[in-house]
Amino acid sequence: MSDYDVIVIGAGAGGLAAGEALARAGVSFAVLEAKARVGGRAWTDERIFPGIPFDRGCHWMHSASHNPLREIADRLGVDYRRMGTRRSSGLYLAGEKADAATTRAAWDAVEAAFAAADAAGEADRDVNAQSVCDTAGPWWPLARHWMSLLSAMPPEQISTLDLAAYQDTKENWPVVSGYGALIARAAAHVPVHLDVEVNAIDRSSTPIRVATSRGTLRARSVILTVSTNILASGKIRFTPALPDAVQEAAAHCPTGVAEKVAFLLDAPVEAFEDTAYIDTMTPGDPARAPINFVVNHFSQPVIVGQLCGETARELEAAGEPAMVDFGLAALKDVFGSGIAARIRRATATRWTSDPHILGAYSCALPGHAAARAALRAPIDGRLFLAGEAVSATAFSTAHGARQSGLEAARAALSAAG
């Protein structure tokens, strides 16, 4: 039995930030992480493609000029690319490259869909995003793909009021050595207990008792940074039960589906520049959902595709080979069947079935934009939730998770007196 001032559960961007703040305050604390690594959904895998870092989770420093992690990157001398819009440099329709005018028209339609959803939210309408979009046009499947990718939920399950609350400068700057590696390095001084699963949190007495796979710990306050899907799953037993408002908020702000499939080639693709963005789709064929790729990732022989929506859910459930096959079929449309012979290794992410996360990032369902505020509210003045899902304006991002961890640490310290 060990006693602490604060126990932090989860060593993702939010939990690590909370640990940084607690360390500076000089209080006794423990950061517990179920996995054998830190970072949570910020994970730079340096093993799958030898010598080439691959961000399995978050990758772009969104709203980079306002992003505190960009300031940390500058301080640590970590390189990143200054990029603006992710508007693609190439659109491929049934394997044929579209001309510039068609590509521009397609992306105008994508941005119009986001603008319509934002306008509804700014007018305080908490309705599903699809209901305010033009779904009859030829580019709706592409717009639907991007809305599903950026919110991790299909547009009919996206709250317009929640979507409009997100503050975006449209500066999406990727980190050359990996965003996950940056987040881990920023908190390298924070001690973390790895391979420790939390099974139960009992706040029926003082101090709070936290039952783990390695025994029971006690603390005056607890900061919980798990995903909303984990919170709603029952994997952690709460005594007494979480307030109804919190349980409902977790269910109404689920962690959705967004996955990646990546390919290592024998050499960069000659016809494309460094870090080129392309979209592929087959109009009129619902079985061939759109997929977007980053080609020649940081001038490396790597192509990264992004999957979302029901397509990603079904493929992820079928397993990594199915995800790779889907991505390869799209690559063949663009580069021809000969691309297959150039592939040296392939991988896919599996966030949806990851037992410690159960999804990509959060999205408030229509009619439930207030869920994030309910998740931010302290519970009994001793249990504080943190993570990207509780952020009011930077949800689904690493910097939103980081800020929430700092705020939760301040609240825990204040509660402790």
Average confidence (pLDDT) over 262-268: 97
pLDDT value of residue 287: 78
The ranges of the chain annotated as CATH 3.90.660.10 are 90-170+256-353
pLDDT of residue 87: 64
**Closest-CA residue to 93 (of 138, 160, 149, 31):** 138
At 366-406, the pLDDT tens digits run 999 999 999 999 999 999 999 999 999 999 999 999 999 99
Mean pLDDT of the chain: 95
Q: Which fold has domain 90-170+256-353?
A: Polyamine Oxidase; Chain A, domain 2 (3.90.660)
C-alpha–C-alpha distance, residues 185 and 10, integer Å:
16
Q: Provide mean pLDDT across the span 154-169.
A: 97
d(CA 56, CA 312): 15
| Across 74-88, 132-146, 174-188, 310-324, least confident range | 74-88
Give residue 416's pLDDT band: very low, low, confident or very high (50, 70, 90): confident
Among the listed residues 150, 172, 174, the one whose alpha carbon sits nearest the alpha carbon of residue 84: 172
Query: Cβ of 215: how many Cβ atoms within 10 Å?
Result: 10
Distances (CA, A) of 302 to 278, 293, 392: 14, 10, 35
Domain(s) labelled CATH 3.50.50.60 in the chain stretch across: 2-38+187-254+362-416
Q: What mean pLDDT is predicted for residues 242-259?
A: 98
Residue 74 neighbours by CB under 8 Å, 6+ apart: none
What is the spatial distance between Cα 370 and Cα 88, in angstroms, rounded to a whole number? Answer: 33
Predicted local distance difference test score (pLDDT) of residue 174: 94
Give 114-175 as a DSSP string.
HHHHHHHHHTT---BGGGGS--SSTTHHHHHHHHHHHHSS-GGG-BHHHHHH----S-EEEB
- Per DSSP, the chain holds a count of helices (H) and strands (E) of 13, 19
Average pLDDT over residues 337-359: 97
The 10s digit of each residue's pLDDT in 91-101 is 999 889 999 99
Q: What is the pTM of this model?
A: 0.96
- 255 pLDDT tier (thresholds 50, 70, 90): very high
pLDDT value for 86: 63
pLDDT confidence tier of residue 197, bands split at 50, 70 and 90? very high
Alpha helices in 276-397 (DSSP H): 309-318, 320-335, 339-342, 371-376
Give the CATH architecture of domain 2-38+187-254+362-416. 3-Layer(bba) Sandwich (3.50)
Report whether pLDDT(89) > 90: no
**DSSP codes, 44-58:** EE-TTTTTS-EESS-
pLDDT higher than 60, residue 1:
no
Q: Is residue 417 very low, low, confident or very high in pLDDT (cuts 50, 70, 90)? A: low
pLDDT of residue 63: 94
The token pair that represents 382 in the structure block:
């001793």
User: Where does residue 206 rank: exposed (0-12), middle (13-18), buried (19+ CB within 10 A)?
Assistant: exposed
pLDDT interval class at 163 (50, 70, 90): very high
DSSP H or E segment with residue 221: strand 215-224
